């Protein structure tokens, strides 16, 4: 192999796409899907500010040619004790029923409660799932978020190499959360995929934590399938390096009487463009979307949400809260869509922003599209500075200015924190908030 | 030593407008000094200036605590000296729990932080090992005891600071905070306003207990009513940014009877004589 060939197989090109299929000896349907996705990617123009979706988020400075695919593979750790100290510490903050740790595309550690495995729960990396449960993967991969969804989703389907796979059979309730930690190396492009499937009347909680990717990019997709009366909780903690570009497309499809709860905590990245879509596909489903963000310096975090009510008697509830420091910016664009015939829809959407920095700015664009007449939809957005009267009140009681400010910011997030279903995650979020406000 | 708060020829402006026009007032530990005056005369302005509110600019005169000026001190430093302000309108702070906030406040005022840092310095590596907060169990115990002693419902501890509190609950909350912070001198800005008869008794009883323990109180009020429960040593009348009259409890009765017209007429006579 020539040097040129060696580098090209890890490049973001058609050759790089084909090389993945060869490297993993993938089935033909998957290779074809990759090629089709690449073509879709090439056919979609780069977004410009002329599109409403991108009007407030510019990709100035982003150049796909700056990146190559991660090529190193990493050794497997046989036990928790063999893990690097920082990963282990992160893992142990949550009492989990199973864990997966990824270093780039390599699954370096996995464990799963034996009882759960015996009951038919599958919790592994997508590569293994593809080998061992091909039909399950084939039926779900790309079925919810198609490559044509947006340019970054197309790129993702052309280039993904691994990800997390969780499957719960019918009537299985798992109390403890599953934990996924994804650590990306620097300067590379990463395409992690998350596939969560809860069969009828199952219950699952997943915490997925993304880290690293300094001067790199992450372009991820998550597809979540809560089947009839299933209850899925997905807590996604985006802790990427502050120099990383981050693109993520996520969608959950809620079947009859299903419950889906999504927590999005966005701490990292220089720029994030994130789509979260709850599809209330069948009657009686209930979707919840909680969001926290706290950009600092020049960070720019952009979230789109969609509460899509297709059928009757479904409810959805969204609360997104952000604090912004320094020159940071946030964009929140949320829509509630109620389809014709989706009567008795009850949908709520709220976005609150707390402006801490002198040059910080939060844009909030809520929207409603309602085509049914017997519905209740409420939305609202607020943006405010820390009130000097609050600071004075607390200082008059003996708190320093910093402590006063910290308490006010923590208090601002309390409404979301109170609803975090995993105590260990709540603690992590509190710590991160405290760290950002600045401990004394 | 008995702590003394002295206000000397104090001039204060808000947004460029002079509100206090030379106030002289002394408050001693263990004493109750009532202050009455018409709406807008500047009573709260004085209270804020004592507590160190940044919007209230001291343009002349001085505020001394035990003989030393506190004008350069931040509000939290004044609180640590033992000065407390019970707000006329306590603010509600979303998501901040009463207990958490109060634990941080008590710890700061009682010097837990300084002690933790001193120990850290002594231990050599400079790391703060111990908590900078009062131990949870100790704090809880004291809080519960004081809630009982000052007739505040125990559910307060887990509620958010003044959020959804009724007017009366807010005022009781201020008294509880005062009881926990154990100030030497407290400025009570209309702590009796908006209270029903039972709540008024509870608040008055709280003030009396703390005064008996040695606290000095400046009781800003519009009504003689509370003075039936809290016996003032002195009563001053505040008028247009100044104290125009100081006397014993009889002054409050006169005001109740005759209103501020009486003070106005008196002032006019004085001016005419001069
Ligand atoms: N932050 C402020 N901004 C503008 N004006 C102010 C401010 N604070 C006080 N003032 C003005 O100063 C004057 C005195 O107000 P202050 O609240 O001190 O009166 P008060 O004696 O406490 O009245 P009340 O009995 O109604 O509580 C008023 O004219 C008020 O409008
Ligand atoms: Mg007042």
Domain coordinates of chain A in residue numbers? 3-293, 387-440
DSSP state at residue A41 = H
- In this structure, the answer to whether residues B263 and B197 fall within a common structural domain is yes
Please state, for a pLDDT cut of 70, what percent of chain A lies above it. 98
b/e string for A375-394 if b means 16 or more Cβ within 10 A?
bebebebebeebeeebbbbb
**For residue A281, what pLDDT is reported?**
98
Q: Which of A42-51, A93-102, B51-60, B120-129 has the lowest mean pLDDT?
A: B120-129
In angstroms, the CA B262 to CA B253 distance is 12
Nearest to A335 by CA among A401, A276, A423: A276
Provide the token pair at B230.
């809290």
- In this structure, the answer to whether residues B14 and B98 fall within a common structural domain is no
**For residue B274, what pLDDT is reported?**
65
- In this structure, the answer to whether residues B141 and B185 fall within a common structural domain is no
Q: What's the Rg (C-alpha) of chain B?
A: 20
More reliable by pLDDT, B131 or A301: A301
pTM for the complete prediction?
0.91
A398–B181 C-beta distance less than 8 A: yes
Instruction: Work out whether strand A188-190 and strand A98-103 pair parallel, antiparallel, or are unpaired.
Output: unpaired
Provide the token pair at A272.
């994030």
| Whether the CB of B37 sits within 6 Å of ligand 1 | yes
Checking if the pLDDT of B36 tops 90, the result is yes
DSSP state at residue A173 = B
Residues of A in contact with B91 (CB under 8 A): 387, 389-390, 393
Considering only the beta carbons, identify the residue of A387, A398, A440 that sits closest to B105. Answer: A398
Q: Confirm if B229 and B201 have CB atoms less than 8 A apart.
A: yes
pLDDT digits (tens, 9 = 90+) for B2-15: 999 999 999 999 99
- In this structure, the answer to whether residues B16 and B49 fall within a common structural domain is yes
Q: How many domains does chain B have?
A: 2
Provide the token pair at A188.
């590379």
Provide the token pair at A308.
């899509």
Provide the token pair at A183.
């650590």
- In this structure, the answer to whether residues B85 and B108 fall within a common structural domain is no
Res. A440 pLDDT band, cuts 50 70 90: very low
Which of helix, strand or coil describes residue A116? helix
The chain-wide mean pLDDT, for chain A, equals 95
Largest interatomic CA distance in chain B: 72
Provide the token pair at B14.
């808000």
Nearest to A286 by CA among A233, A335, A323, A339: A233
pLDDT digits (tens, 9 = 90+) for A240-254: 999 999 999 999 999
Residues of A in contact with B132 (CB under 8 A): 440
Q: Confirm if A289 and A317 have CB atoms less than 8 A apart.
A: yes
Q: How many CA atoms lie within 13 A of A346 on its CB side?
A: 7
pLDDT digits (tens, 9 = 90+) for A347-375: 999 999 999 988 999 999 999 999 999 99
**For residue A173, what pLDDT is reported?**
97
The chain-wide mean pLDDT, for chain B, equals 91
**For residue B114, what pLDDT is reported?**
80
- Answer with the one of B136, B164, B192 that is the final residue of a domain: B164
Residues of B in contact with A407 (CB under 8 A): 93, 96, 100-101, 104
- In this structure, the answer to whether residues B107 and B73 fall within a common structural domain is no
**For residue A1, what pLDDT is reported?**
53
- Answer with the one of B119, B136, B164 that is the final residue of a domain: B164
CB-count burial class (<10 Å; 0-12, 13-18, 19+) for B104: buried
Residues of B in contact with A403 (CB under 8 A): 104, 108
A415–B94 C-beta distance less than 8 A: yes
**For residue B56, what pLDDT is reported?**
96
B90–A410 C-beta distance less than 8 A: no
Nearest to A398 by CA among B50, B105, B184, B84: B105
Domain that holds residue B197: 4-90+170-273
How would you list the strands of the sheet with B83-86, edge to edge? B83-86, B185-189, B216-220, B32-36, B234-239, B242-247
As a whole number, mean pLDDT of residues A193-213 equals: 98
Please state, for a pLDDT cut of 70, what percent of chain B lies above it. 96
- In this structure, the answer to whether residues B183 and B154 fall within a common structural domain is no
Q: Apex CA A328: angle with CA A331 and CA A150, to 5°?
A: 35
Which span out of A40-54, A263-277, B132-146 was modeled with the highest average pLDDT? Answer: A263-277
Res. B89 pLDDT band, cuts 50 70 90: very high
DSSP state at residue A229 = T
Q: Confirm if A209 and A218 have CB atoms less than 8 A apart.
A: no
Nearest residue by C-alpha to atom 7 in ligand 1: B14
DSSP state at residue A187 = T
Which of helix, strand or coil describes residue A161? coil
B52–A396 C-beta distance less than 8 A: yes
Provide the token pair at A278.
């709850």
- In this structure, the answer to whether residues B188 and B159 fall within a common structural domain is no
Nearest to A412 by CA among A435, A439, A388, A385: A385
Considering only the beta carbons, identify the residue of A397, A401, A440 that sits closest to B177. Answer: A397
In angstroms, the CA B263 to CA A76 distance is 88
Nearest to A264 by CA among A323, A208, A217: A208
In angstroms, the CA A32 to CA A16 distance is 14
Residue B217, domain CATH:
3.40.50.300
- Positive or negative: CA dihedral B77, B180, B88, B229: negative
A387–B91 C-beta distance less than 8 A: yes
SS percent in chain A: helix, strand, coil, step 5: 25, 40, 35
Q: Confirm if B263 and B244 have CB atoms less than 8 A apart.
A: yes
Query: Which among B18, B36, B41 is the best mutation to test ligand 1's pocket, defined by most ligand atoms within 8 Å of the CB?
Result: B41
| Whether the CB of B155 sits within 6 Å of ligand 1 | no
Query: Which among B10, B17, B19, B260 is the best mutation to test ligand 1's pocket, defined by most ligand atoms within 8 Å of the CB?
Result: B19
How many helical (H) and strand (E) elements, i.e. helices and strands, does chain A have? Answer: 11, 21
In angstroms, the CA A368 to CA A319 distance is 15
Checking if the pLDDT of B169 tops 60, the result is yes
Residues of A in contact with B161 (CB under 8 A): 411
pLDDT digits (tens, 9 = 90+) for A137-181: 999 999 999 999 999 999 999 999 999 999 999 999 999 999 999
Nearest to A290 by CA among A182, A426, A164: A426
Checking if the pLDDT of B72 tops 90, the result is yes
Helices (H), chain B: 43-51, 75-81, 98-109, 112-123, 136-149, 167-181, 197-212, 250-258, 260-273
- In this structure, the answer to whether residues B177 and B258 fall within a common structural domain is yes
Provide the token pair at B249.
């409890």
In angstroms, the CA B56 to CA B50 distance is 10
B87–A403 C-beta distance less than 8 A: no
**For residue B127, what pLDDT is reported?**
56
Crossing angle (nearest 10°) for helices A28-43 and A151-159: 150
Considering only the beta carbons, identify the residue of A388, A396, A403 that sits closest to B104. Answer: A403
Of the residues A353, A384, A397, A401, the best mutation for testing chain B's interface (the one with the most B CB atoms within 10 Å of its CB) is A397
**For residue A7, what pLDDT is reported?**
63
Checking if the pLDDT of A41 tops 70, the result is yes
As a whole number, mean pLDDT of residues A41-68 equals: 94
Nearest residue by C-alpha to atom 29 in ligand 1: B40
Q: How many CA atoms lie within 13 A of A47 on its CB side?
A: 17
Nearest to A325 by CA among A304, A351, A299: A299
pLDDT digits (tens, 9 = 90+) for B204-260: 999 999 999 999 999 999 988 999 999 999 999 999 999 999 999 888 888 888 888
In angstroms, the CA A86 to CA A91 distance is 9
DSSP state at residue B97 = B
B105–A397 C-beta distance less than 8 A: yes
């Amino acid at each position: 192999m020539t040097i040129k060939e060696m580098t090209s197989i890890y490049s973001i090109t058609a050759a790089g796409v084909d090389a993945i299929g060869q490297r993993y000896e993938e089935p033909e349907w998957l290779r074809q899907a990759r090629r089709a996705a690449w073509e879709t990617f090439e056919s979609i123009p780069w977004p410009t500010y002329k599109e409403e979706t991108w009007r407030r988020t510019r990709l100035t400075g982003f150049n796909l040619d700056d990146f190559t695919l991660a090529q190193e593979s990493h050794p497997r750790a046989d036990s928790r004790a063999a893990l690097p100290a920082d990963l282990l510490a992160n893992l142990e903050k949550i009492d989990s029923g199973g864990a997966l740790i990824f270093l780039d595309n390599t699954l370096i550690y996995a464990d799963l409660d034996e009882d759960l495995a015996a009951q038919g729960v599958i919790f592994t990396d997508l590569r293994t799932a593809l080998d061992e449960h091909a039909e399950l993967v084939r039926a779900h991969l790309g079925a919810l978020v198609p490559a044509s969804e947006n340019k970054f989703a197309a790129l993702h389907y052309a280039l993904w190499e691994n990800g997390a796979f969780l499957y719960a059979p019918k009537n299985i309730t798992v109390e403890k959360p599953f934990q996924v930690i994804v650590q990306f190396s620097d300067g590379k492009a990463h395409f992690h995929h998350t596939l969560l499937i809860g069969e009828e009347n199952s219950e699952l909680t997943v915490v997925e934590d993304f880290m690293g990717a300094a001067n790199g990019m992450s372009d991820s997709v998550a597809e979540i399938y809560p089947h009839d009366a299933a209850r899925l909780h997905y807590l996604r903690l985006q802790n990427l390096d502050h120099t990383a570009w981050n693109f993520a497309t996520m969608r959950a499809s809620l079947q009859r009487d299903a419950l889906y709860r999504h927590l999005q905590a966005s701490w990292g990245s220089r720029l994030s463009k994130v789509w979260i879509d709850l599809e209330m596909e069948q009657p009686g489903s209930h979707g919840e979307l909680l969001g926290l963000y706290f950009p600092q310096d020049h960070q720019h975090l952009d979230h789109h949400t969609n509460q899509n009510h297709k059928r009757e008697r479904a409810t959805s509830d969204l609360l997104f809260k952000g604090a912004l420091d320094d020159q940071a910016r946030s964009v929140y664009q949320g829509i509630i869509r109620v389809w014709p015939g989706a009567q008795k829809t009850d949908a709520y959407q709220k976005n609150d922003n707390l402006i801490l920095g002198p040059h910080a700015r939060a844009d909030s664009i809520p929207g409603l599209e309602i085509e049914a007449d017997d519905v209740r939809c409420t939305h609202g957005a607020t943006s405010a500075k820390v009130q000097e009267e609050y600071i004075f009140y607390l200082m008059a009681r003996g708190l320093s200015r910093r402590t006063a400010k910290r308490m006010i910011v923590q208090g601002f997030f309390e409404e979301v924190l109170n609803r975090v279903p995993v105590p260990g995650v709540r603690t992590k979020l509190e710590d991160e908030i405290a760290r950002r406000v600045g401990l004394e | 030593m008995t702590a003394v708060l002295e206000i000397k020829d104090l001039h204060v402006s808000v947004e460029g407008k002079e509100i206090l026009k030379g106030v002289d007032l002394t408050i001693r530990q263990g004493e109750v000094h009532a202050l009455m005056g018409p709406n807008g005369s500047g009573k709260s302005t004085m209270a804020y200036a004592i507590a160190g509110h940044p919007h209230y600019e001291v343009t002349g005169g001085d505020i001394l605590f035990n003989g030393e000026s506190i004008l350069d001190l931040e509000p939290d430093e004044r609180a640590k000296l033992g000065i407390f302000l019970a707000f006329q309108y306590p603010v509600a702070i979303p998501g901040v729990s009463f207990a958490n906030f109060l634990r941080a406040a008590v710890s700061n005022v009682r010097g837990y932080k300084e002690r933790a840092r001193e120990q850290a310095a002594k231990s050599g590596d400079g790391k703060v090992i111990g908590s900078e907060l009062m131990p949870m169990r100790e704090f809880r115990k004291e809080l519960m005891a004081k809630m009982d002693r000052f007739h505040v419902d125990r559910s307060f501890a887990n509620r958010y600071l003044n959020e959804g509190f009724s007017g009366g609950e807010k005022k009781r909350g201020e008294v509880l905070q005062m009881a926990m912070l154990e100030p030497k001198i407290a400025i009570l800005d209309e702590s009796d306003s908006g209270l029903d008869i039972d709540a008024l008794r509870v608040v008055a009883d709280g003030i009396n207990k703390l005064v008996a323990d040695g606290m000095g109180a400046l009781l800003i009020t519009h009504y003689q009513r509370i003075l039936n429960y809290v016996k003032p040593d002195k009563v001053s009348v505040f008028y247009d940014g100044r104290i125009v009259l100081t006397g014993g409890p009889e002054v409050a009765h006169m005001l109740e009877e005759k209103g501020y017209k009486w003070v106005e007429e008196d002032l006019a006579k004085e001016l005419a004589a001069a």
